[in-house]
Amino acid sequence: MIQDDEILDIVDESDCVVGQKKRSEIYRQGLCNFRVVNAFVVNSLGQLWIPRRSAHKTIFPLCLDVSMGGHVETGETYEDALQRELKEELNLELNMVNVRLLGYLIPYQYQVSAFMKVYEIKLDWNPEYNKSDFIESFWLSPDDLIEWLDSGEPAKSDLLKLVQIFYQK
């Protein structure tokens, strides 16, 4: 078993739990019927805080990423996973930040990697990110980020789509 090979809920087309699988099996089989959370940290200038993943990441090493993201583990709600991942990745407590739900995306409808809830966190400073998750970060306007991605900057597969859905004017 690979490190961090957590057990994730498998869901049906209505996002109801129908079983469980190891994360490695889900990715090996190319499934999209599991749950994730993503969040964008946004400052008062409207810039997105975008980190670069560390080299040891199993998927998308050294790629740009959403500010925070993670799998919803078996038995967790989206909100439970948001709270856990915020603490693990950005050293932030959910009850101490201004957070709002941007949207709920279904993979078959939006061609994203999984069922996901996407949140926004208002913050005017760099989060104290986990150095084992990320190696650097940037404050970028949505347009500048899209320009970077269009010019070939490596990124996690859903990043461009999420920025376009929630931040492109």
**Distance between CA 36 and CA 162 in Å, rounded?**
13
* Residue 140 within any structural domain of the chain: yes
Would you call 86 helix, strand, or coil by DSSP? helix
* Residue 2 within any structural domain of the chain: no
- Give me the number of domains the chain comprises: 1
pLDDT tens per residue across span 8-22? 999 999 999 999 999
**Distance between CA 161 and CA 103 in Å, rounded?**
13
pLDDT tens per residue across span 7-61? 999 999 999 999 999 999 999 999 999 999 999 999 999 999 999 999 999 889 9
**Distance between CA 149 and CA 147 in Å, rounded?**
5
Specify the pTM. Answer: 0.95
pLDDT range class, residue 4, cuts 50, 70, 90 = low
* Residue 49 within any structural domain of the chain: yes
Residue carrying structure tokens 């498998």: 10
**Distance between CA 134 and CA 97 in Å, rounded?**
21
* Residue 110 within any structural domain of the chain: yes
Name the residue range of residue 126's domain. Answer: 7-167
**Distance between CA 51 and CA 19 in Å, rounded?**
32
pLDDT attached to residue 5: 84
Cβ atoms 121, 98 nearer than 8 A? yes
**Residue 20, domain CATH:** 3.90.79.10
Asked if pLDDT for residue 2 goes beyond 50, the answer is no
Cβ contacts of 106 within 8 Å, gap of 6 or more: 13, 15, 115
* Residue 69 within any structural domain of the chain: yes
pLDDT attached to residue 112: 97
pLDDT attached to residue 33: 97
Q: What is the mean pLDDT of the segment spanning 109-137? A: 97
* Residue 60 within any structural domain of the chain: yes
